[in-house]
């Protein structure tokens, strides 16, 4: 059973580095968006699992905007941090930075991904509360609360359409 004592986001902060190889690129030499999303999902999943202390599954991906192209040979730095928790869900902010050897790190995109902690039967389980002790995390938490309302409205709409 996971320990449900409140946890600071620094404890689950996850950093991942990838190198863009030929198998990651399209005919134009830029990285497939789907490949970047899979890296985002992995980094966010590790972050969520670290916070929850148990398995967590992806339940929602917010809009993702690819601001800068990521090219063959680029280093991709991915940073994932918990910015909100509900009872069983966690919203993870993921920032992606591209880098060339000797060059600056440039912000390529940001994604918000929601995970739900589950037990061995796939049923949602409670996650530890989030310790928020600074203005940046406080601001993120407040913005996440607004996104959660919008997201759940959309989720209900999708559920009704597909039923
Ligand atoms: C995630 C899953 C276990 C949730 O089950 P559920 O029956 O909807 O559970 P609940 O209604 O109790 O909701 C659980 C939490 O998920 C949140 N949630 C459910 N659907 C959501 C959605 N579309 N977007 C955001 N959050 C959602 C709820 O708000 C709730 O959060 P809270 O406990 O913090 O308030 C279930 O939908 C599932 O198994 N989905 C498939 C996951 C998957 O296969 N992912 C891809 C591979 S990892």
Centroid of ligand 1 to alpha carbon of 95 (angstroms): 23
Whether 35 has a pLDDT exceeding 70, the answer reads: yes
Q: At 30, is the secondary structure helix, strand, or coil? A: strand
Residue 162 confidence class, pLDDT cut points 50, 70, 90:
very low
Residue 160 confidence class, pLDDT cut points 50, 70, 90:
low
Spell out the long-range contacts of 136-140 with Cβ–Cβ below 8 A and sequence spacing 24 or more.
137/9, 137/83, 140/83, 140/84, 140/93
Whether 1 has a pLDDT exceeding 80, the answer reads: no
Whether 79 has a pLDDT exceeding 90, the answer reads: yes
Are the CB atoms for 92 and 116 separated by under 8 Å?
no
Instruction: State residue 163's pLDDT score.
Output: 39
The encoded tokens of residue 41 equal 């999902």
Residues having CB within 6 Å of any atom of ligand 1: 57-60, 86-89, 114, 116, 118, 122, 124, 151-152, 155
Judged by average pLDDT, the poorest of 9-13, 14-18, 152-156 is 152-156
Distance, CA of 94 to CA of 78 (rounded, Å): 7
Second CATH level (architecture) for the domain 9-162: Roll (3.10)
């Amino acid at each position: 059973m996971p320990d449900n004592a409140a946890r600071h986001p620094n404890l689950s902060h996850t950093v991942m580095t990838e190198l863009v190889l030929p198998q990651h690129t399209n005919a134009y030499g830029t990285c497939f968006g789907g490949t970047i999303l899979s890296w985002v999902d992995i980094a966010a999943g590790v972050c969520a699992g670290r916070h929850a202390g148990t398995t967590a599954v992806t339940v929602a991906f917010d809009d993702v905007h690819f601001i800068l192209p990521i090219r063959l040979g680029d280093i991709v730095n991915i940073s994932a941090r918990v910015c909100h928790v509900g009872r069983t869900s966690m919203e993870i902010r993921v920032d992606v930075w591209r880098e060339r050897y000797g060059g600056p790190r440039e912000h390529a995109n940001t994604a918000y991904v929601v995970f739900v902690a589950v037990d061995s039967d796939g049923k949602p389980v409670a996650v530890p509360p989030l310790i928020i002790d600074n203005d940046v995390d406080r601001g993120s938490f407040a913005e996440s609360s607004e996104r959660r309302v919008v997201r759940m409205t959309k989720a209900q709409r999708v559920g009704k359409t597909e039923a």
